[in-house]
Amino acid sequence: MLPRAAFAIFLVAVCRVSAQEALWDALPAPPLMIAAPPPMLAEPPPTVAEPLPASAWLDLRQTMSRNSKTQEAPAWVEALTLLPAEPTEGSNASKSVFRIRVTPPGPDYKILFFRLFFDDKPNQQPELVAWDETGSHILRSGTLGAGMNLPSSDSVIIPMTGASAIDIEVPGDGKTIRGAYLDWMTSSEVVHPVNAEHRDIIPEPFSAVPALHAPPEDLENFGTVTATLAAEAIRLDARTEQNATFQFPIEAEPLTALLTFEIANPRIDAPPEVHVNGQNIGPVALSLPDLADPGYRGESEPLTTEMHFNYTGWLRAQKIVPATSLKVGTNDLSVTNRAGTGVSALRATQIQLKYIWDKSDYLLRPGP
């Protein structure tokens, strides 16, 4: 059995009816047709589908505001326990553990989507561990985050066959852990083109954009060349003039170009700007998830009423690079945060160069 906790926070179980079912119940009956067909034999009433299990948001912050309400969670979350920090084996450093006990809401639910929100500090990166009732490890996620010293989030898919508890292990007092979003997953058959790029997709509840991978070598497809500028994470900080700078050569001027990367902790109303060969070509465009995503974090300044939001996770960012900004030979490109927007990081930076391809359509627009 799992060891008992020194301190436990028991969650209030609530029953939620799915929005789809509530809407179905509220739909009015259709009006009778003017020329109605003759009555038929009565059909059996349609079977009512069981409501889907509700998702769970667990607030794991150890400091609560005065207006904080009692935390609620669906019945399949049995308990949440914060174990006191204890020294790790072979080291004087301490480790805190958040233990979440869950019971699958039905036999069809065997896989759990787990998204953890945390401050990604060096040497304080968390790890998820799934246990069974005998206290044996079923799964270890490995270290989450990149140690960029930024607020972030990571998602893990956990097989729950035989598992009854999930631990969030983190070095220190655990105050870098902010929250967790849990939802049960179902499976379906997925088809994909055999010649398309392979994508490892974890279906995010609030966004459909897959993770971006940087190709290790240049790729050419239908007249378009894709080249990786940097796969690793690079920190951006306007206050210290810490920018992401790249150099890349081109042999012929393209028709147009597209810069793509993932960015963590951007301010959504003031995304980074791109400079090419000394010219500011403007801010990138962010692919934003629903505003219901718990990854949004609001910040306000003294004596102001406006609140700005950063996204504490990785987002897709893109920018069209005009062909007139590029030149044959070596090109310089940089990505910079705007003043007052804080610190962020980018990764999987790559550029696509589009050239004439004899199978594409090119139209000549007539003059006025």
Instruction: Convert the pLDDT of each residue in 7-58 to its tens digit.
Output: 444 444 443 333 322 222 332 333 444 444 455 555 556 555 678 899 999 9
Q: What is the pLDDT of residue 197?
A: 67
- What's the predicted TM-score (pTM) here? 0.78
Tell me which CATH code domain 8-26+50-185 carries: 2.60.120
Q: What residues does each domain of the chain span?
A: 8-26+50-185, 219-300+307-354
Number of Cβ atoms within 10 Å of the Cβ of 170: 24
**Coil, strand or helix: which one is 114?**
strand
Query: Which of 168, 262, 155, 145 shows the shortest CA–CA distance to 204?
Result: 155
Q: Which two tokens stand for residue 275?
A: 């400079």
Number of Cβ atoms within 10 Å of the Cβ of 86: 10
Least confident of 138-152, 191-205, 224-238, 284-298: 191-205
Tell me which CATH code domain 219-300+307-354 carries: 2.60.120.1200
Once rounded to an integer, what is the mean pLDDT over residues 323-351? 95
HSE (CB half, 13 Å, CA atoms) of 90? 0
Domains 8-26+50-185 and 219-300+307-354 share a fold: yes
